[in-house]
Structure 1
Amino acid sequence: MAASMKTVLNLVLISVLVSFTSSLPRFLHGRPKHGLLGAPKLPQGSVLPPDMWLKQKLTHFNYADTRTWQQRYFVNDTFYKPNGPIFLMIGGEGTANPAWMLQGAWIEYAKTYHAICFLLEHRYYGKSHPTPDLSVDNLQFLSSEQALADLAYFIQYVKHKYNLMSKDQKLITFGGSYPGSLSAWFRVKYPHLVDGAVATSAPIFAQLNFKEYLQVVVSSLATTGPGCNKNIKMATDTITKMISTDTGRKSVEKMFNLCDPLDTSQYVDGSNLFSNLAGNFEGVVQYNKDNRAFEGAIGTNITIDTICGIMTDESNGSPIERYAKVNSLMLSTYSQKCLDNSYNKMIKGLQATAWNSSASEGGRQWMYQTCTEFGFFQSSDLGDVQPFGNFFNLKFSIQQCMDVFGAKFNQELIQMGINRTNTNYGGYGMRATKIVFPNGSIDPWHFLGFTKDLSMESPAIYIQGTAHCANMYPATSDDLPQLVQARATIEKLIGTWLSSN
């Protein structure tokens, strides 16, 4: 009887874990599951470098706290020649993938300049676990400042370990998206340790209400013509009317294949629905034709042309039916049986603190960083200029911070953290040399970065027609001329930095 009961309890636990796993959004706060930067697909027979580890301090800002932990890194010295430069790729809000040690534009630069390459995994992501769990008390050691200090210690560590002590050896950092920000900020805070920084698709300015994110999405969808946004607006208006009645609500649940009944007594459930449906389009725009196909990423065949083609094709039915068809395409592409729209299930999933929980892949950690340092909340507060409705407003994002981490994580506390971030790093008023800021015009994140030169020594490269981190991926024969030129410009800049005094 006891064994039978144990089996039943185990099955219930598995069911709960599966439920929580599926309840986490595929696209949350602008971050796809597993991080904003993909991982390269390798040629058959490739041999990945092994995991390497160093002892790292839990906190770099309290010397009375002597606790340490093991941080993961990778190294590739295949192209290295004595006294060659040091290239450091910065890990971000996901697992550091060693495939990047063999692929990507930075590897081509390493071949040119005979560099030794390192990749350091960001604390609290991947296998780099500084604390026993992800409780709020333990997450206090997760911050960009701690990550930068990790980098500083790491550089000193590898210089000694790998005998890279020549005064002539320069160091260049690379990063895309949040790690792009870290690359720039590291140059600002530790200029004596780094000789140049590539900060790709880097949001430099922390902002509470990132309503302009949808502005870029709308503009990108409009490149296919006015019909796409127009039909999304019509679909949104229809859904808004339908969910006001029991019959209409049930029809929406069926049409969009919701996993659970829509609880319209809670505004957050309705907000979650409109946010998730907008996310179908946001994710496609953010990564539109960005060369992720080389990494084997799911969904790279779905482009702005694909989803807008569905929205403007009258043979697909009414606008709401077309909207539902886009949703079905995304569910099928990502092997999801239904759209898990329950706000309460999402929050319970993000509240999980164990390292083996689904949220630990980075969703909980990234939300903590947005709630304490950055904001970056992609709200619907742009108004009628965007077609996705006004339901997932700033209040909705702040509510998530409070529900996941506690009531004290309110708008006032979040704004204080954002103010400190911009004061600490400079925001748009940053002053630094030898940083290059590549951004794609289709990428919504470019709005918070530099698209014009910071200075003659810190240029911006604004690449028309490209998306998030596109210049980091390996070249293909289909690359736009301006993308080809951007990679060449970055390579030339690196050469200038390496040859300068």
Structure 2
Amino acid sequence: MLLTKIDTVVFVTVLLVAQCTATIPHFLNGRPKNGMLGKPKARDTTAPLPKDQWFEQKVDNFNDANTKTWQQRYFVNDQFYEEGGPVFIMLGGEGPLAPIWMVEGAWVNYAQALNAMMFSIEHRFYGKSHPTMDMSTENLQFLSSEQALADTGNFIQYAKQRYGLHDNKWISFGGSYSGSLSAWLRLKYPHLIYGAVATSAPLLALIDFKTYLGVTEASLGTTGPVCNTEISKATAAVESLITTDSGRMQLKTMFKLCEDINPANIYDVANFYSLLAGNFEGVVQYNRDNRDFEGGVGGNITIDTLCGVMNDTSRGSAIERYAMINSMILSTYGENCLDISYKSMIDDLRKTDWNSSAAAGGRQWLYQTCTEFGFFQTSDLEDQPFGHGFPLNFSVQQCMDIYGSQFNADLINKGINRTNTNYGAQDIKASRIIFPNGSIDQWHALGKLLDLPDGSVAIFINGTAHCANMYPPSPDDPEGLVQARQLIKSLITIWTLPLA
């Protein structure tokens, strides 16, 4: 492949469907535009939502000499609460905090049944919670999971006083990255959090998350072997066409590219390959969940949709059907062309103003992956159908190009090692944590799939995707998902009994 010839050049992973008007990816390192935990569908669109509340936090929880403070957004719902009931807190993640979660979702049903007080708290640097004047690299030093956990501890102490919740049992909830935070909150602050639900929580930080494509392939393979075979054929055809002038013009037309492919621009070429894989990755990650469509692939596009196209040989060659998928995704987002420009993407992610397109969360989340987690979804896995056009060195270059040359592989690995040492990775040791994961979801490969001897429970849900158990129930939910929600409710009920 083109990229493997340049050992000294480092590149970045972008698993996305690109915009033409704003070039920050829709799907960046597994993250849709508004965060990995989407919004649940509203059953009553006229029902009032809770208003923004604000709490003063320190900019740096670990340096008393820094006296700067900021206002953190949170929401509260006390409609189900009865004195002595439990307190539920949903942790914000790598996107704006959605107030709809205060009135919709499985945890609302649990709260109603158990007479719980409900809070949710927005993660620093996301949504409206701005600890600093901008998102400069210097200011992003205050963006970390540890700071976010400390923020939550501060908030709990505040809420106990303000709302008179001194002797209640607190249960934390989160999904995806905020699921990790939920587990880590129980681990690090057991005196504040009695139990935790950590849905689709990646616990193992690593720089090369190449198994992401492996799970993608396996999930597509649930429809039969033909789909992956046809994707592999299409990838080979793309790789062949990209080597000639006429072939590149053909690719531009077929895949509705915004500009010509310059074979000398290895960044753009790698971006092109990752975008084509991203058309499938996003659909797989959120297959058949009950979200509202908001920046993640939604509507009626499912694994069955994608493989239905790829398996239908009457609709043209494999590459023609691959291009049909691309057109389908562009149409879903209302885009006219596929933007493969690496420079445009980097330029947007370098923006530091809170009013910029970067403030939606792409710049902040990428910074966290470059300093704490890695999670780069590369094409390095040998046996998968999407080719090898966006290897690990493509991921690291984005960190360097956006935040500075010091953000190289060595620094990234140091941050990853610190994260795993700090939290225990998949060897986490803590009681009363529930770890739900879906078999379709690529992130389950980094999660906890086995029970812990000290009372933490892993729930592996066949046929479900990312954070599916958190969304409102649907009559179409598979039986395993129904049972998972019931088990979560039963465990929380046991935890919150007066004598538990």
Structure 1 position 239 matched with structure 2 position 238: yes
- Across the aligned residues of Structure 1 and Structure 2, the Cα RMSD in angstroms comes to 1.5
What pairs with 1:307-386 in structure 2 (closer than 5 Å)? 307-383=306-382, 385-386=383-384
What pairs with 1:21-36 in structure 2 (closer than 5 Å)? 21-36=21-36
Please give the secondary structure, in 2, of the residue aligned with 1:22.
coil
Please give the secondary structure, in 2, of the residue aligned with 1:397.
helix
Structure 2 stretches of 5 or more lacking a match? Answer: 1-17
Query: C-alpha separation between the residues in 2 aligned to 1:90 and 1:19?
Result: 29
CA contact (8 A) 1:22 1:340 kept: no
| Aligned equivalent of 2:420, options 419, 422, 427 | 422
CA contact (8 A) 1:262 1:342 kept: no
CA contact (8 A) 1:20 1:345 kept: no
Query: C-alpha separation between the residues in 2 aligned to 1:254 and 1:353?
Result: 35
What pairs with 1:223-262 in structure 2 (closer than 5 Å)? 223-262=222-261
Query: C-alpha separation between the residues in 2 aligned to 1:478 and 1:79?
Result: 27
What pairs with 1:20-419 in structure 2 (closer than 5 Å)? 21-42=21-42, 43-165=44-166, 167=167, 169-292=168-291, 299-383=298-382, 385-419=383-417
Say which structure is richer in helix: 1
- Deviation string 1:160-179 (CA, Å, 9 cap, x unpaired) is 111112x2x10000000000
Query: C-alpha separation between the residues in 2 aligned to 1:20 and 1:402?
Result: 24
| Aligned equivalent of 2:446, options 445, 448, 457 | 448
Greater Cα shift, 244-253 or 18-27: 18-27
- Deviation string 1:418-453 (CA, Å, 9 cap, x unpaired) is 000000001122110000000000000000001111
Aligned-pair distance for 1:209?
0.4
Please give the secondary structure, in 1, of the residue aligned with 2:90.
strand
CA contact (8 A) 1:21 1:359 kept: no
- Letter matched to residue 403 of structure 2: F
CA separation of 1:47 and 1:151: change in aligned 2, threshold 3 A:
same
Query: C-alpha separation between the residues in 1 aligned to 2:352 and 2:370?
Result: 16
Counting matched residue pairs gives 481
CA separation of 1:95 and 1:25: change in aligned 2, threshold 3 A:
same
- Letter matched to residue 265 of structure 1: A
Aligned-pair distance for 1:300?
3.3
TM-score by length of 2: 0.94
Query: C-alpha separation between the residues in 1 aligned to 2:53 and 2:175?
Result: 22
- Letter matched to residue 30 of structure 2: G
- Deviation string 1:15-60 (CA, Å, 9 cap, x unpaired) is xxx9885211121101111100111232132101100001110010
CA contact (8 A) 1:71 1:123 kept: yes
Query: C-alpha separation between the residues in 2 aligned to 1:231 and 1:291?
Result: 29
Q: Name segments (4+ residues, structure 1) moved above 3 Å.
A: 18-21, 293-298
Query: C-alpha separation between the residues in 1 aligned to 2:259 and 2:191?
Result: 55
Relative contact order (C-alpha < 8 Å, sep 6+): which is higher? 2
TM-score by length of 1: 0.94
Match of 1:493 in 2: 491
CA separation of 1:417 and 1:295: change in aligned 2, threshold 3 A:
closer
Query: C-alpha separation between the residues in 1 aligned to 2:333 and 2:466?
Result: 20
Aligned-pair distance for 1:126?
0.2
Structure 1 stretches of 5 or more lacking a match? Answer: 1-17
Aligned-pair distance for 1:227?
1.1
Please give the secondary structure, in 1, of the residue aligned with 2:22.
helix
Aligned-pair distance for 1:119?
0.5
CA separation of 1:19 and 1:310: change in aligned 2, threshold 3 A:
closer
CA separation of 1:296 and 1:25: change in aligned 2, threshold 3 A:
closer
Query: C-alpha separation between the residues in 2 aligned to 1:497 and 1:299?
Result: 36
CA contact (8 A) 1:440 1:462 kept: yes
What pairs with 1:469-488 in structure 2 (closer than 5 Å)? 469-488=467-486
Query: C-alpha separation between the residues in 1 aligned to 2:19 and 2:287?
Result: 30
Match of 2:464 in 1: 466
